[in-house]
């Protein structure tokens, strides 16, 4: 039998999803699993969005435009302008989830062997998309001790090579919850201009900021022009992960033209989901997101109230998104996360965590860390933290 | 500004879709455009499928399993078994359209520089997926004079190199409509075994066969074992192109395991579309597809009745799928197709065709050919052929 590709071999299994078989095993044994491993919120999708599916009058479910419908793109442009991001509908290309926005951007601006600098820990699937595109992720480490803020310019510049094509941030950050300051974005702009790089930002958590933090888009930076590309998604904003609707936003016509060719090859984003996303964007009352953001803040507070009482746990309350990277007093967080599913329960319940090593590109980093997602209701989050506390007491590999 | 990637430059614009701006221009001038360029049928999607959207009780639209739900995979396995393809649900991985099934398969079995042999003319987007994966498409030409049948073994073997990893067919064929015989598939199996290659088949038109032709799947070949990978989609079967639901089917566990890693990176196929696809698969009465196939056969006959009366046109009535590659008496089919949209109308109407050069990998091939899709109702197809006849009389580049 012929062997598979090197990239198939190098492709990482998702640290968010690779323990799923163990979770299925636990469930098969009748154990309830609290899923804190994945950014799958329990927040209701706006009724306005679900009604778009329920009220569809389509009799033929056709392809949509490869770049998305002009109507949705216009509404997206209006949405961005309402957030201080001056773009037109021509600057928006609708994708099949934020995932595709990332892969299209990588494919469009980088060839195999090219490099992208990403502050770590970072959203683990950037690694997967990099393998698909043959691109090298060059990490620059952010530390909890520094609040996960952007490292000094010198540390970033030390990683720039002949092959560096871009700097990518996730803002607000998944998995640290860090919200980049305007000054940090301006520093990145200067670095990108100085070294002629693209500046990329995954801004899917734009609205999810707390305690007075303010989100700034790279597309709002004066003079950034055609150098900036934003990757976005409605998955979190409207708790509609299953719709698979995202977009690429840039003022760079060459990138849009090239990305459209990748878009044409895969024909179109899912049609009815795009119609529903449009309905969500246009019809959802503003209080929906306000309430959702309040709910996430309350969950975060509950989680940190509990974490502070668990000996040996080190965390940092984030001001954005709905994740946190937590250091645990264990030998190996992946072993611990597996043990939670395969060998532990507390009154018939356990928790699923995402081992954090997959969120780093530097070998050895994150070995004793996990990512926790605040995606369950307050009672469930409280209960899950209690289970975590008990589990850490019982875990044989406790340090 | 940094330059884009080589692959962005080399990525072909879809010949099916690149004339869309001209079509939009024609429509803006009030001209009705008959779309024969794209496999977008006007056939109603099964009501059973659309009802699945209309009756959804989901209040949260979550990610689905990265490989698709076990329920849908089990139903797909049952469907395949009913077509003589002995597979289990573990052998099926649900993808975001047949497009993703192809890219996952390419990425999984081939590295940049590897080669896949494909009989040409072929589905044009294979070129795009090959550029994305860095893979070289090596064509082996099929000719109308030979009925588009598979060339002799020697011609195929002459194209096998150290880098060849697979042979890919589309069966029934898009764009020729050719249905491969069992003997041809057995020849391909022997070649694949002899040279240790994978055998890949895009079988999305499985049910679309006419005049007693019978479709054979590569997965039905005795002894093919783990060597065969089928790429499939519900887009045409249920006239649900906009659902973006396809799958990879193989008995090769290594391919499935690797493809799942690519699947995890993009998280999941669209959830509600998969639920609707499941409803279509389980609930659509058998007479739906029988009627659809009868309708396509009737359209094909109408098209060929008309084409036979147009001087200088050379076609070959296909026994499968719903496309045909037709030679036109023109200097350049792409110029002609563009002219049809930009400079011509017949009583306020025109037709959009797909220039066939993009369906070949051999330079210069297909320059005077177009692909016609039988995707409109009988009256529209008749009218479109009449417009084509008149256009060919008036076209300044007529040969």
Which DSSP string corresponds to B241-272?
A: GGG--EEEEES-HHHHHHHHHHHHHT--S-HH
**Are B398 and B329 a contacting pair, CB within 8 Å?**
yes
Q: How many CA atoms lie within 13 A of A272 on its CB side?
A: 33
Domain boundaries, position A165: 47-283
ipTM of the complex: 0.96
Write out the two tokens for A289: 């997101």
How far apart are alpha carbons A146 and A169 in whole angstroms? 17
Residues A11 and B258 sit within 8 Å (Cβ to Cβ): yes
Residue B58 lies in a domain: yes
Q: Does A60 touch chain B (CB under 8 A)?
A: yes
**pLDDT at position A14, please?**
83
Do B177 and B134 have their domain in common? yes
Structure tokens at B177: 């409509």
How far is residue B214's CA from residue B42's CA, in Å, rounded to a whole number?
A: 25
Coil, helix or strand at residue A123? coil
- The model's confidence at residue A25, banded by pLDDT at 50, 70 and 90, is very high
Using the Cβ of A110 and the Cβ atoms of chain B, whether some distance falls under 8 Å is answered with yes
Predicted confidence (pLDDT) at residue A345 exceeds the cutoff of 90: yes
Q: For position A110, which CATH number holds?
A: 3.40.640.10
Prediction pTM value: 0.96
- Residue at B74 is within a domain: yes
| DSSP labels, A304-332 | HHHHTTSTT-B----SBTTEEEEE-SBS-
pLDDT of residue B14: 83
Q: Could you tell me if A149 and A264 lie in one domain?
A: yes
Q: Which pLDDT value is given to residue A32?
A: 98
Taking the Cβ of residue A252 and every Cβ of chain B, the question of whether any pair is shorter than 8 Å is answered with: yes
d(CA B81, CA B100): 23
Task: Answer yes or no: do A151 and A274 share one domain.
Answer: yes
> Given a cut of 90, is residue A18 above it in pLDDT?
no
Which member of A6, A17, A107 has the closest CB to residue B7?
A: A107
Measured between beta carbons, the chain A residues lying within 8 angstroms of B20 are 65
Q: State residue A58 phi and psi, 5-degree precision.
A: -65, 135
Q: In this complex, how many residue pairs, one in chain A and one in chain B, have their CB atoms less than 8 Å apart?
A: 251
**Distance (Å, whole) CA B265 – CA A106:** 14
- Whole-angstrom Cα distance, residue B136 to residue A276? 38
Indicate the burial class of B12 (C-beta count within 10 angstroms; 0-12, 13-18, 19 or more).
Answer: middle
Give the pLDDT of residue A86: 98
Burial of A311 (0-12, 13-18, 19+ CB in 10 A): exposed
Q: Do residues B144 and B224 share a domain?
A: yes
Tokens (6 digits) for B236? 């045409």
User: Which of A5, A56, A70 is the best residue to mutate to test the B interface, defined by the most B CB atoms within 10 Å of its own CB?
Assistant: A5
Q: Which residues of B touch A227 (CB under 8 A)?
A: 1
Query: Taking the CA atoms of chain B, what radius of gyration do you get in angstroms?
Result: 21
- Ranges in chain B, pLDDT < 50: none
| Dihedral angle over CA of B216, B220, B223, B226, nearest 10 | 110
A44 near B CB under 8 A:
yes
pLDDT at B123: 96
Phi and psi angles of residue B357, each rounded to the nearest 5 degrees, phi first: -60, -30
Contact status, residue B249 vs residue B73, Cβ threshold 8 Å: no
B100 touching A, CB under 8 A?
Answer: yes
Q: Are B110 and B165 in contact (CB under 8 A)?
A: yes
For residues B274 and B291, state if they share a domain: no
If you average pLDDT over residues A290-318, what whole number do you get? 97
Which of B261, B283, B305 marks a domain boundary?
A: B283
Q: Is residue B1 part of a domain?
A: no
- Looking at the domain assignment, is residue B399 inside a domain? no
- What are the chain B neighbours of A102 within 8 Å (beta carbons)? none
Any residues with CB less than 8 A from the CB of A274 and at least 6 apart, and which? A64, A68, A69, A72, A94, A245
Cα–Cα distance for residue pair A86/A281, rounded to 1 Å: 17
**Cα–Cα dist A205/A255, whole Å:** 23
Within a domain: A399: no
Closest Cβ–Cβ partner in A43, A240, A265 for B129: A265
Q: Answer yes or no: do A2 and B226 touch at CB < 8 A.
A: no
CB contact under 8 A, B54 and A54: yes
Mean pLDDT value of segment A216-230: 98
CA dist., res. A95 & res. A284, Å (int)? 21
List b or e across A285-302, with b for residues whose CB sees 16 or more CB atoms inside 10 angstroms. Answer: eeebeeebeebbbebbeb
The DSSP code sequence of B137-199 is EEEEE--GGGTTPPPPHHHHHTT--TTEEEEEEESS-TTT-----HHHHHHHHHHHHHTT-EE
- Establish if B231 touches chain A: CB-CB under 8 angstroms: no
Interface membership of A269 toward B (CB under 8 Å) = yes
Could you tell me if A33 and A51 lie in one domain? no
A308: distance to nearest CA of chain B, Å?
31
Q: Beta partners for B35?
A: B352
Note the pLDDT of residue B199: 98
* Nearest residue to A395 (alpha-carbon basis) of A308, A334, A330: A330
pLDDT higher than threshold 90 for residue A46: yes
Between CA B78 and CA B76 the distance in angstroms is 5
Q: Which of B231, B262, B283 is the last residue of a domain?
A: B283
Please check whether residue B279 is in contact with residue B273, taking contact to mean a CB–CB distance below 8 angstroms: no
Give the CATH number for residue B17.
3.90.1150.10
Does the pLDDT of residue A39 top 90, yes or no? no
Residue A238 CA to residue A235 CA, distance in Å, equals: 6
Strand B136-141 relative to strand B92-95: parallel, antiparallel, unpaired? unpaired
Contact A97, A245 (CB under 8 A): yes
pLDDT in tens, B346-376: 999 999 999 999 999 999 999 999 999 999 9
Would A366 be classed as within a structural domain? yes
Q: A138, exposed or middle or buried, with CB in 10 Å at 0-12, 13-18, 19+?
A: buried
User: Are B110 and A264 inside 8 Å of each other by CB?
Assistant: no
Mutate to test the interface with A, among B265, B268, B284 (most CBs of A within 10 A): B265
Answer whether A103 sits within 8 Å of B198, measured CB to CB.
Answer: no
Residue A73 lies in a domain: yes
Q: Are residues B294 and B309 in the same domain?
A: yes
Q: Is the peptide bond before A121 cis (omega within 30 degrees of 0)?
A: yes
**Is residue A362 situated within a structural domain?**
yes
Number of domains in chain A: 2
User: Pick from A283, A315, A337: which residue ends a domain?
Assistant: A283
Tell me whether A242 touches chain B (CB under 8 Å): yes
What digits encode the pLDDT tens for the residues A87-118?
Answer: 999 999 999 999 999 999 999 999 999 999 99
Q: Shortest Cα distance from B9 to chain A (angstroms)?
A: 7
Distance from CA of A390 to the nearest CA of B (A): 29
Q: Do A367 and A321 lie in a common domain? A: yes
pLDDT in tens, B97-155: 999 999 999 999 999 999 999 999 999 999 999 999 999 999 999 999 999 999 999 99
Average pLDDT over residues A363-381: 95
- Is 90 exceeded by the pLDDT of residue A340? yes
CB-CB under 8 Å, A99 with B258: no
**What rounded mean pLDDT belongs to chain A?**
97
pLDDT computed for residue A15 by the predictor:
79
Rounded to whole angstroms, the Cα distance separating A263 from A101 reads: 10
pLDDT at A69 over 90: yes
Q: Do B186 and B271 have their domain in common?
A: yes
Same domain, A170 and A300: no
Q: Are B87 and B147 found together in one domain?
A: yes
Close Cβ partners of A229 (under 8 Å, ≥ 6 residues apart): A105, A109, A198, A199, A200, A201, A248, A249, A250, A252, A255
So what's the pLDDT on residue A16?
Answer: 81
Is B234 in CB contact (< 8 Å) with chain A? no
Query: pLDDT tier at A40 (50, 70, 90 boundaries)?
Result: confident
Could you tell me if B31 and B84 lie in one domain?
no
């Amino acid at each position: 039998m012929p062997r598979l590709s090197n990239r198939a071999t190098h492709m990482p299994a998702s640290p968010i999803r690779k323990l799923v078989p163990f979770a299925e095993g636990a469930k098969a044994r009748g154990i309830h699993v609290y899923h804190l491993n994945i950014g799958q919120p329990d927040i209701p999708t706006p009724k306005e969005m679900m009604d778009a599916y329920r009220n569809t009058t389509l009799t033929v479910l056709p392809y949509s435009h490869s770049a998305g419908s002009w109507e949705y793109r216009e509404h997206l442009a209006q949405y961005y302008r309402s957030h201080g991001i001056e773009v037109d509908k021509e600057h928006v290309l609708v994708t099949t989830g934020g995932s595709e926005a990332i892969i299209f951007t990588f494919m469009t601006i980088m060839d195999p062997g090219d490099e992208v600098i990403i502050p770590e820990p970072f959203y683990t699937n950037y690694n997967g998309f990099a393998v698909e595109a043959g691109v090298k992720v060059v990490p620059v480490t952010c530390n909890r001790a520094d609040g996960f803020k952007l490292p000094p310019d010198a540390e970033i510049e030390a990683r720039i090579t002949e092959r560096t094509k871009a700097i990518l941030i996730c803002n607000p950050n998944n998995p640290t919850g860090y919200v980049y300051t305007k000054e940090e974005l301006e520093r990145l702009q200067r670095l990108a201009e100085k070294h002629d790089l693209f500046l990329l930002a995954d801004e899917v958590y734009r609205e999810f900021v707390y305690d007075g933090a303010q989100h700034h888009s790279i597309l709002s930076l004066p003079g950034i022009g055609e150098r900036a590309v934003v990757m976005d998604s409605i998955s979190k904003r409207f708790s509609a992960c299953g719709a698979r609707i995202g977009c690429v936003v840039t003022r760079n016509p060459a990138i849009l033209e090239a990305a459209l060719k990748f878009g044409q090859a895969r024909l179109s984003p899912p049609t009815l989901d795009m119609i529903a996303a449009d309905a969500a964007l246009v019809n959802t009352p503003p209080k929906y997101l306000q309430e959702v953001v309040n709910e996430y803040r309350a969950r975060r507070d509950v989680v940190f109230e509990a974490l502070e009482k668990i000996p040996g746990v080190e965390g940092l309350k984030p001001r954005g998104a709905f994740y946190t990277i937590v250091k645990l007093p264990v030998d190996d967080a992946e072993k611990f996360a597996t043990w939670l599913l395969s060998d532990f329960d507390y009154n018939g319940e356990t928790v699923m965590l995402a081992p954090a090593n997959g969120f780093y590109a530097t070998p050895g980093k994150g070995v004793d860390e996990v990512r926790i997602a605040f995606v369950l209701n307050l009672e469930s989050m409280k209960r899950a933290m209690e289970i975590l506390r008990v589990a850490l007491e019982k875990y044989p590999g406790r340090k």
